[in-house]
């Protein structure tokens, strides 16, 4: 071997080894930077709210009148005064509503919780006589979703559920209406 020649060869190998180490260290750093940039981009896109497109259907929502309570797209009025069943229905009609019908057990639970202690008329009535069916104010026959206790002709909510009594008794009442839809300002035609 020539003097000094082995040293040059060793230095060349040393330089090659150093370059390989530097290149090997750069790859994980580059991969980390790329992955971090992708994660930030994904988070930014996920957090961004989409803009409504001009071709989208209008967003329709409903609002209940002042003093009414909204529940599942319907409005309910829990009266502060008492009346017999017929006067209570007339009062509801003056609001473009009717005495409340009950379409589901969750709706019944909502009314029982919200009404408080006083008894409230609902829109369920039957004709006098043995075996007469219960009907809602819209003449739909009651589907026996819940038990109606008592022998009366008009139904009301008490602390336990639904009971019945003579229609001339004075009670508070619950009106129910479907509110008219309205457009939010940026969707007005």
Alpha-carbon distance of 73 to 177, in angstroms, equals: 9
Specify whether 80 is located in the same domain as 171. yes
Domain identity same for 20 and 75: no
Domain count, the chain: 2
Pairwise CA distance, residues 16 & 8, whole Å: 12
113 and 76 in a single domain? The answer is yes
Q: Are 104 and 17 contained in the same domain?
A: no
36 and 1 within one domain: yes
Q: Is the pTM of this model over 0.85?
A: no
Q: Are 33 and 82 contained in the same domain?
A: no
Regarding whether 144 and 103 lie in a shared domain, the answer is yes
pLDDT in tens, 145-174: 999 999 999 999 999 999 999 999 999 999
> Are 155 and 120 part of one and the same domain?
yes
- 95: domain CATH number? 3.10.100.10
- How far apart are alpha carbons 165 and 159 in whole angstroms? 15
Do residue 120 and residue 172 come from a single domain?
yes
Per residue in 99-137, pLDDT (tens digit) is: 999 999 999 999 999 998 899 999 999 998 888 999 999
Q: Are residues 122 and 157 in the same domain?
A: yes
How many beta carbons lie within 10 A of that of residue 126, not counting itself? Answer: 18
Please check whether residue 57 lies inside any domain of the structure.
no
- Structural domain for 11, as ranges: 1-48
pLDDT tier at 50, thresholds 50, 70, 90: low
With respect to residue 55, please indicate whether it lies within any of the assigned structural domains: no
């Amino acid at each position: 071997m020539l003097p000094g020649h082995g040293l040059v060869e060793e230095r060349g190998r040393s330089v090659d080894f150093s370059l390989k180490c530097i290149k090997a260290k750069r790859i994980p750093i580059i991969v980390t930077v790329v992955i971090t940039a992708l994660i930030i981009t994904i988070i930014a896109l996920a957090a961004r709210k989409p803009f409504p497109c001009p071709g989208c259907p209008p967003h329709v929502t409903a609002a209940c009148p002042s003093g009414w309570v909204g529940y599942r797209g319907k409005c309910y009025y829990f009266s502060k005064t008492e009346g017999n069943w017929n006067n209570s229905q007339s009062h509801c009609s003056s609001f473009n509503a009717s005495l409340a019908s009950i379409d589901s057990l969750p709706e019944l639970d909502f009314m029982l919780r919200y009404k408080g202690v006083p008894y409230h008329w609902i829109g369920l009535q039957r004709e006098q006589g043995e075996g007469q069916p219960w009907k809602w104010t819209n003449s739909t026959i009651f589907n026996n979703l819940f038990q109606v206790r008592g022998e009366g002709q008009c139904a009301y909510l008490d602390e336990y559920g639904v009971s019945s009594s003579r229609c001339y008794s004075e009670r508070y009442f619950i009106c129910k209406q479907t509110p008219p839809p309205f457009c939010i300002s940026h969707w007005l035609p």
